[in-house]
Amino acid sequence: MESKYQGQTAASRLRRLLQEEGKTVFCPGVYDGISARIALNTGFDCLYMTGAGTAASRLGLPDLGLATMGDMAANASMIASLDRSVPVIADADTGYGGPLMVARTVHAYIAGGVAAMHLEDQVITKRCGHLANKELVDEDVYLSRIRAACMAREDARQASGGGADIVIIARTDSLQLLGYDVAVSRLHKAIALGSDVAFLEGMTEFDQCARVCRDLAPTPVLLNMVAGGITPSLSVEEASHLGFKVVIFPSVALDPVSEHVTDAMRNLKESHRAIVSETRKVGGVKHFFNILGLKECMDFDNAAGSSSFAYGA
C-alpha cells in the first residue's frame, strides 16, 4: 500500500503542518519507547521529545543540563524511528557546546530522522525553563548557536539534495531575567538568521501569551504547556485562538507515570502481591506487547519467509 506521505521526510511533513491554514499542531511529551508508542497509538500527528523526560528516564536525574548530546540524540532517534510518518520535535537544550558542537548536534538529529529541534540561550549548566534563577549566555553567544545550527542544516540540505530540512526552533529563556522586549528581540534576531519557529519560554502572564504571536508574525510560535509550570494553562483551542502554531505538553506522561508507578510500588511493598490490571487479566502479557507492535513484528517476520511466528506467539 502506498503511504499518503510518500516521498516526504518527517521534517517536510512538519513544515506542511506548520503551513496549514488554521492548524495548531499539538504534541504530547514523550521520553521513551513506551510513552512514544502510546502517543502514536492514540493518533497524534506530531510528538515532542522532552529533555526533562529524557534526563529523568535515561539518567534518573532532574532537568539540569546533565543529559549529553549522545543521550539526547540516541533517544530522539529511537523515538523518530518508531513511525517515520509522524514528525518528532526534539529538545536540543543549548546545543551542548560551541558552534562546532551545535553543528554536530544538528547532524546527529538529522541522521536520526528528527523533524525539528529547539535551541536555547541558557548557559550549558541549564535548568528547566520553569525553575527560578536561570542564567543566560550573552546574545552573541546565543546567536552563534543559532547561526551554527542554520549553517549545519544548509550543509546537510546541500549534501542530501534538499531532503535534510530539519526545522530549527529558536527558544529564549531570557524573559525571566531581561524582560519581554529583550526576549522578543532575541527571537527576532534568531529568526533573521534562519530559525523557522520561535519559542518564548516561561511566559508568566496571559498578556505575554496574547502578544507574542502578533509581535513575531509571520513566524510560527510554539507554546510550552508544562503542567504546574509558570505559564498560564491554555487549551489547544485557546492557544490556537491566540495564534500559536505549535503547543507542546512535555509532562503529559511524566506525572501519570510517577503517580501510578508510586502506587503500584507501594502496593507491592505492602501487600507482597502485584496489582493485575483489568486489561492484563483479559489480554495477558500480549496486551502490553501489542502496544509495542507485537503483531506488526510477527507479520513482518512471516512476510520475510521465517516460520518463527507461523503459529503466532
Ligand X SMILES: C[C@](O)(C(=O)O)[C@H](CC(=O)O)C(=O)O
Catalytic positions, written as ranges: 48, 63, 91, 93, 118, 120, 128, 171, 201, 224
Place of cell 527571537: 187
CA distance linking residue 195 with residue 262, whole number of Å: 41
Calpha distance 20→33 (Å, rounded)? 29
Of 29 and 243, CB closest to ligand X: 29
Do the bridges between strand 221-224 and strand 246-249 make them parallel or antiparallel, or are there none, so unpaired? parallel
**Which one of residues 35, 56, 79, 91 is an interface residue with ligand X (CB under 6 A)?**
91
Among 13, 15, 130, 245, binds ligand X (CB under 6 A): 130
Q: Is the Cβ of residue 131 or residue 292 nearer to ligand X in the bound state?
A: 131
The yes or no reply on residue 243 touching ligand X (CB under 6 A) is no
Least distance from C-beta 77 to ligand X, angstroms? 17
Rounded distance between C-alpha atoms, residue 198 and residue 191, angstroms: 7
Q: Are 134 and 126 in contact (CB under 8 A)?
A: yes
In Å, how far are 164, 222, 238 from 145, measured between CA atoms?
19, 19, 32
Least CB distance to ligand X at residue 63 (A): 4
Residue number with CB closer to ligand X (31 or 164): 31
Q: Nearest distance from residue 173's CB to ligand X, in Å?
A: 8
75 binds ligand X (CB under 6 A): no
Residue from 24, 208, 224, 240 in contact with ligand X (CB under 6 A): 224
From 51, 65, 87, 112, residue interacting with ligand X (rule: CB under 6 A): 51
Based on the shown chain and the rule CB under 6 A, indicate whether residue 129 belongs to the binding site for ligand X.
yes
The yes or no reply on residue 63 touching ligand X (CB under 6 A) is: yes
**Residues in Cβ contact with 6 at an 8 Å cutoff, skipping those fewer than 6 apart:** none
Which span (66-74, 99-107, 122-130, 187-195) binds ligand X, by CB under 6 A?
122-130
Q: Is the separation of the CB atoms in 86 and 10 below 8 Å?
A: yes
250 binds ligand X (CB under 6 A): yes
Of the candidate residues 10, 116, 128, 136, the single one contacting ligand X (CB under 6 A): 128
Work out whether 112 is an interface residue with ligand X (CB under 6 A): no
Our finding on whether 87 is near ligand X (CB under 6 A) is no
- Our finding on whether 226 is near ligand X (CB under 6 A) is yes
Q: Output the CA torsion sign for 134, 92, 5, 9.
A: positive
Cell reading at 288: 502490553
Burial of 25 (0-12, 13-18, 19+ CB in 10 A): buried
> Which 12-41 residues touch ligand X, going by CB under 6 A?
29
Size of the site for ligand X (CB under 6 A): 13
Neighbour-count burial for 247-258, b at 16+ CB within 10 Å, e otherwise: bbbbbbbbeebe
Least distance (Å) from ligand X to the CB of residue 40? 18
From residue 3, alpha-carbon distances to 43, 47, 74 in Å are 16, 19, 26
Residues near ligand X (CB under 6 A) are: 29, 50-52, 63, 91, 128-130, 224, 226, 250-251
